[in-house]
Structure 1
Amino acid sequence: MGRLNSEQKGGRLDMGKTTSKKMIPLLILRILWKHADKENMVTMDFICNRLEEDFEAERRMTRLGLQKLVSSNIRQLNLFFQETQWKPDGQKELQICERTVANPNQSGGYIKTYYLNGRLFTDTEIRMLHDSILFSPGIDNNCAKRLLEKLKRCASKYFGSWFEFVKYREMLKRTKNAYIYNYLVEIGKAIKRSRTVSFRYRKNGRLTDKVFKVSPYFLIISGGWYYLICNTDGRDALSHYRIDRMEQVEMNFERGRDFYSVESVDEFFEISKYLEEHPRMSYEEPVSATLLVDETLVEAVELEFRITSKMKAQDNIFRMRIVSTKTAICNWIINLTEYIRIETTSDPSIIELLCYRARCIIELYQKA
């Protein structure tokens, strides 16, 4: 067979250029999407230069003819955006904006510049999403990199220039489970279809031999990690498991247990109540405590225990009530005894535990 010519190849030349004028609107949008924003507009010459990289104009077409062709397509695109009221961000109508800028080197003393208005995300919103991914421990490194690259494509090439002085330090211990989002999809399907799910689970870093079978009900996020709230086969109560610690997750054909047939569930069940009863997604009993906190650590306590209420007890000291596990409270107090003191608690044994840990520390370092 003979070699295909450009027309037989659907209007594409060997060098990757198209000869179809129907492609020009898409090429213009791609140029403006990548190379222009409100602070960095591009000229007609710039658009034509970039267009010539992908479009093979007719030999008889002059530069002026190409400019007129581009102008005509810009008008048609704006007319289309106006008629369809296309608002990618839900507020601003997509539009190719034209602005006249003084330029003494041009005939007439001015030059026209262009940019695309009404993008799906502003640079600030992309930065917020970008940082949310960076600071999400439930996303593995490779997945985070892929998401960040895709997210940057939603902005112009100038994205980040306003944030170049922001420096990041890796502070997170990320999950190493590369299949976490596949598992989330599989579990989501099982919840929707009322099917059971089977998986193996990693405890204390080691994968157990036991295969768990559960009836899944809710997927939640707590502390940056994904959890499944479910009923474990053979038990008559709700359980929860961290998704990134699961392996070999599979949806079964077996129908799951009805949610309201679980003993600890009634018609007044609220997921928020369950989370309150399991602070930090722990199976420890929740403990309340009233702390006397030095003002220098008030913000840290608010952040750690997710509380916002406080009362000034005396100069530089605030009274704060928290609800958490005994382990979490002890770990905090033992490290910050100089600044935080327990005033009252629903579980007096927490004081005994603190004293025991303090004695262990003293004995350890006295021996040393």
Structure 2
Amino acid sequence: MYSAEKILILDLLKILHKHTDEDHRLAQKEIREILKTEYNTTVSRKTVKNNIEKLIRYSERADANEILYRTKTRKIKTKDSNKEDELEVLSDFGYVHDFTYGELRLIIDSILFSKQIPSRQRKELIEKLENLSSKHFNSRINHIRTASSNGPVNHELFNNIEILDEAITHSKKVSFRYNKYTVDEKSNLVLQSQTNRDGEAREYTINPYQMVATNGRYYLICNNDRYDTISHYRVDRITNLKILSETRKPMREVKGLEHGLDLSKHMEEHIYMFTGESTSVRLRFHKNFLNEFIDWFGTENISFSDHAEEEVTARVTVNEIAMRKWALQYALHVRVLSPASLVDEIKADIDQARENYQ
């Protein structure tokens, strides 16, 4: 059974964690007031002092959070004479949290920008992250509100991430159903399993290699066991996920992964996560568009030529289907020069788009 003293030291640690940080400190008097109002505990100044000193000694360990304090000098009269002695007093205590405000905001923003996490789960996650810091951080983000998720939500997302992580760690195959959006007879948007020729829900057997987060979504980089090429699946569209007993197919047996997965290169080439081979593409655009271009393709996988005063030609290795979609998105700013087959496909797409508005 825990003694009152052991419970007190834990309460003191909670108070420092909740109420203080490097910029917001508490004096012993304030700590005693919090103990009384929030914990219904009344203790002497000396008891608080002794327990905080224990916490400070513990915080000197490499694996412990640092507890900050300031040293003040107080003059006191001795019992045996009228002389005054100087006594060092510890005050202004603060707790050094694992994450800075900036780091927590970065993590929280990534949750807010995620398109696949339901609003309720976003709120729960943010509240847990807030509790990693002091109350002063909480008060600084009260103005944040998240937009409601659009369309139907797959509540298996977090469970899917855990299962896939376990399967990847232990090199196991998985099976699942993959879903697509459709509109039902009441004109409601719903998620529906892909079906086979008999109209039954299709079961996918997959060799998982890596999960990535891009464009606000989680994707699984993998191989469909029926083929020898790379596949990508949206994790939020996966249901009925199970780990199989079979060992997954080695990467060396998958086209494009013979030498392993270069994730940075793979992501630069697959900007929309389409499946298929990459090809070298030449395109020309105004220099004012260069920042946008770099945001999409990075700086490692590109080269430039035909430098003019206002325009420049770039060469990038990219998934051809993705480049076809990307070129249409930025058709007002970019002109694809090669390969010729891709140029012809984009021209046909533009003609088709024009017909849609006639």
**Common fold by TM > 0.5:** yes
Match of 2:31 among 19, 44, 47: 47
Normalised to the residue count of structure 1, the TM-score between the two structures is: 0.74
The reply to whether residue 269 of structure 1 matches residue 263 of structure 2 is no
Residues in 2 aligned to 1:187 and 1:363: alpha-carbon distance in whole angstroms: 44
Q: Which residue of 1 aligns with 2:160?
A: 183
Residues in 2 aligned to 1:349 and 1:171: alpha-carbon distance in whole angstroms: 42
Q: Which residue of 2 aligns with 1:76?
A: 54
Match of 1:34 among 18, 25, 30: 18
Q: Which residue of 2 aligns with 1:114?
A: 92
Q: Which residue of 1 aligns with 2:7?
A: 23
SS at 2:307 equivalent: strand
Percent identical pairs in the alignment equals 25
Q: Which residue of 2 aligns with 1:132?
A: 110
Q: Which amino acid aligns with 2:159?
A: N
Deviations for 1:1-47, whole angstroms, at most 9, x for unmatched residues? xxxxxxxxx78xxxxxxx92322211112112111223222232221
Q: Any unmatched runs of 5+ in structure 2?
A: 74-85, 182-190, 195-200
In the TM superposition, residue 222 of structure 1 has moved relative to its aligned partner by 4.0
Q: Any unmatched runs of 5+ in structure 1?
A: 1-9, 12-18, 58-64, 89-93, 102-107
Q: Which residue of 2 aligns with 1:345?
A: 338
Is residue 238–residue 262 contact of structure 1 (8 Å, CA) maintained in 2? Answer: no
Normalised to the residue count of structure 2, the TM-score between the two structures is: 0.76
Would you say how many aligned residue pairs link Structure 1 and Structure 2?
326
1:358/1:225 CA distance change after superposition, 3 Å: closer
In the TM superposition, residue 246 of structure 1 has moved relative to its aligned partner by 0.7
SS at 2:272 equivalent: helix
Match of 1:241 among 233, 238, 246: 233
Residues in 2 aligned to 1:69 and 1:352: alpha-carbon distance in whole angstroms: 82
Q: Which residue of 2 aligns with 1:95?
A: 67
Q: Which amino acid aligns with 2:178?
A: Y
Match of 1:154 among 115, 126, 132: 132
Deviations for 1:51-100, whole angstroms, at most 9, x for unmatched residues? 1131444xxxxxxx711211111112112222x33444xxxxx1241365
Q: Which residue of 1 aligns with 2:184?
A: none
1:152/1:296 CA distance change after superposition, 3 Å: same
Q: Which residue of 2 aligns with 1:292?
A: 284
Is residue 287–residue 345 contact of structure 1 (8 Å, CA) maintained in 2? Answer: no
Q: Which residue of 2 aligns with 1:15?
A: none
The reply to whether residue 319 of structure 1 matches residue 291 of structure 2 is no
Is residue 190–residue 196 contact of structure 1 (8 Å, CA) maintained in 2? Answer: yes
Is residue 207–residue 224 contact of structure 2 (8 Å, CA) maintained in 1? Answer: yes
1:360/1:171 CA distance change after superposition, 3 Å: farther
Q: Which residue of 1 aligns with 2:246?
A: 255
SS at 1:296 equivalent: helix
